[in-house]
Amino acid sequence: MANMQKLVLGTWKIRYKFHFIAGILFIAFVITALYLTGDSRLFLEQQTTPNDSTPSCDLFSGKWVYDNISYPLYKEKQCFLVEDAFACEKYGRKDLEYQKWRWQPHDCDLPRFNATALLEKLRGKKLVFVGDSLNRNQFGSMLCLIEPSIPPSSSKSLIWKGNSIIFNATDYNATIEFYWSPLLVESNCDDLTDHRVQTRIIRVKAIEKHARQWTDADILVFDSFMWWLKPKMTLLWGSFGSSDAIYKEVGMRPRLYEMALNTWSDWLEIHINRTRTKLFFMSPSPIHSAGEDWGMDTGRNCYNETEPILNKEYWGSATDREMMQIVESAIHELETRGLKVEYLNITQLSDYRKDAHPSVHRRFWVPLTEEQLANPKSYSDCVHWCLPGVPDVWNVILYSYIMNSL
């Protein structure tokens, strides 16, 4: 009998341990299930909206998802601010599927762009895009994103002044500006409308002429890459028009880029109000000029391309990793000197979008020759982006940073 009691007691202990362990596993399973379903959204939202200025989720790693419900974020025909260089539908593009792709990060969701919330953040403030025509492309996207949320009765204006295009939303006392400075430092390409020169001349140590126009900005978004792709440039010591100026043609593109960014960095360190101004630098916007990169015949480019590249490992041959590393190094060096610049690495996510360039569907400022007209690939714009389109995603990412930093 005693042996039977011991056996029963031992069996009860085994069952107790089994049920205890099973209960723990069941609780863990329920928590996991909740996380993977309804509660996961709250968790991911917390991951993408921390208290500091940097979203903790990697917004730049993901894939493009076809979404004809929530995209495009605006209609081209309803945005009078779309410039003719980016107005692809206006200039004859019939396939509009390029407008309906949404960027989906792997580990979270991009926030939905809320123009009213952004305008409230910008109340009494100034956001300035500084750089070349890709930054102007992004500036145009930003205007199209926010303008529909400004009541028709509210006063707003678009002014061209010097190197700037300035948008004011009067009721918010908010300014969004584009400042043309394609090389950041002073050059012979600095005229906003008349900058198409064959020989590029730069004063690689001179930035004050431009930079003094930025000192009152609350947010500065820089880019500078495309205009550095010439194999040779001319350095100028002295002033333009000076009789004793010294000119020297050089071909050390990475070194010149590094020198210009050092000039830019030194100016920021001395002049930027660190408690007021938020700084961003856009990584290079890719070019789709070599169809063989994505498996097409040599000589093909973005002309007639209508679908994104789905190979997640894709990297276009025109995007210079060395130049990107120079920017990243300059930004890291600034951080060691106590100045934070957010690097928005939009290169690869944009590199998938060979379908989203204007190609031949834009206004061309120089009359096309008969030879060009006979070969559309020869004058296809595979550099800039149609609006609505890829720059809208850049701005949604920028928006997420701004909303967490001001």
Which residues carry out catalysis? 133, 381, 384
Alpha-carbon distances of 329 from 56, 316, 341, rounded to whole Å: 21, 22, 11
Question: By CB neighbour count within 10 A (0-12 exposed, 13-18 middle, 19+ buried), where does 398 fall?
Answer: buried
Judge contact between 258 and 266, C-beta under 8 A.
no
Query: 10 Å Cβ neighbour count for 25?
Result: 10
